[in-house]
């Protein structure tokens, strides 16, 4: 964050209001996101977020506050339903990927992940030796994220689901197909998520926009990160309906083993700043 604010200072006049979230907020306030911080974010033009977690706050106690809850609270509290994760390997890092150079050259894709629905926000519980997590989606939730994907597509949209098993995915496919028909100039293909995971490493350059629900998008975007050689290279943007600020953050974690040493690569934060300027300001 420190070097990101230096970059912004070189670009123009920006007013910063720095607040605590995640693990730092747990230490200071006992909660990963206070109401005051959420209100401050709502009043801002954009929110630039540094990484929030670390092993210090890891716990198997379901009642213990966790840093990620601050991030989920921000997304939900700001109405941010569209997560954009661009994946474009740097030519200088093509040989850093575990995949062969000729497999990833030319990759320039965007994962559009639905962010406020699905299994992360459904009813969950633990009763003795039985647990449940419920995945729920409505047609309007699917429609609005599909609109984002088609708006950003240059060549085609690949919608990822598990429609051979899940009812939520069958609804997803039906609604995305309808939105695709309304955007007739943009080709649409459907892939089952297991096939999509395989295709991401076998032919990544053939993807343009990958549209998917919350859980699948979380997993696939981390898989796609390895095309760049490191999860630490990826920026992201989380957007709503335009009535409030967007949230911009690197995809990577907080790297506690090198915290405070000044050696963390800031490239993903720089990319997040660029996305903030493009999509948020």
Which residues are designated catalytic? 120, 162, 194, 218, 222
* Interacting residues of 156 by C-beta distance below 8 A, sequence separation 6+: 186, 187, 188, 189, 208, 209
User: Is 47:72 a contact under the CB 8 Å cutoff?
Assistant: no
Three-class secondary structure of residue 168 per DSSP: helix
Please give the Cα distance from 221 to 250 (Å, whole number). Answer: 12
Helix (H) or strand (E) holding 246: strand 246-250
How far is Cα 203 from Cα 209, in angstroms, rounded to an integer?
14
What is the phi/psi pair of residue 275, to 5°? -70, -35
What six digits make up the tokens of 188?
A: 């649409």
Q: Is the distance from CB of 160 to CB of 193 less than 8 angstroms?
A: yes
- DSSP string covering 196-218: HHHHHHHSGGG-SEEEE-HHHHH
């Amino acid at each position: 964050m420190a070097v990101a604010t230096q970059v912004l200072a070189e670009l123009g006049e920006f007013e910063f209001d720095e607040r605590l979230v995640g693990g730092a907020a747990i230490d200071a306030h006992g909660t990963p996101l206070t109401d005051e911080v959420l209100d401050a974010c709502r009043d801002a033009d954009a929110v630039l977020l540094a990484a929030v977690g670390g092993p210090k706050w890891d716990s198997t106690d379901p009642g213990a506050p966790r840093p990620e809850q601050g991030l989920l609270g921000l997304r939900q509290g700001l109405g941010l339903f569209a997560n954009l994760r661009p994946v474009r390997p740097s030519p200088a890092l093509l040989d850093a990927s575990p995949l062969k150079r000729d497999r990833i050259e030319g990759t320039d894709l965007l994962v559009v992940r639905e962010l406020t629905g699905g299994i992360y926000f459904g009813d969950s519980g633990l009763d003795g030796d039985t647990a449940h997590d419920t995945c729920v989606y409505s047609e309007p939730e699917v429609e609005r994220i599909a609109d984002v994907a088609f708006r950003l597509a240059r060549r085609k949209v690949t919608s990822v689901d598990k429609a051979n098993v899940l009812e939520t995915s069958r609804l997803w496919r039906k609604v995305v197909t309808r939105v695709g028909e309304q955007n007739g100039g943009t080709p649409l293909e459907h892939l089952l998520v297991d096939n999509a995971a395989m295709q991401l490493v076998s032919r990544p350059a053939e993807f343009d926009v990958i549209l998917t629900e919350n859980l699948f998008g979380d997993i696939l975007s981390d898989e796609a990160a390895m095309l760049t050689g490191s999860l630490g290279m990826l920026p992201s943007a989380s957007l709503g309906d335009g009535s409030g600020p967007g949230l911009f953050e690197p995809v990577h974690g907080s790297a506690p083993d090198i915290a405070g040493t000044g050696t963390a690569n800031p490239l993903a934060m720089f990319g997040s700043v660029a996305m903030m300027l493009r999509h948020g300001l």
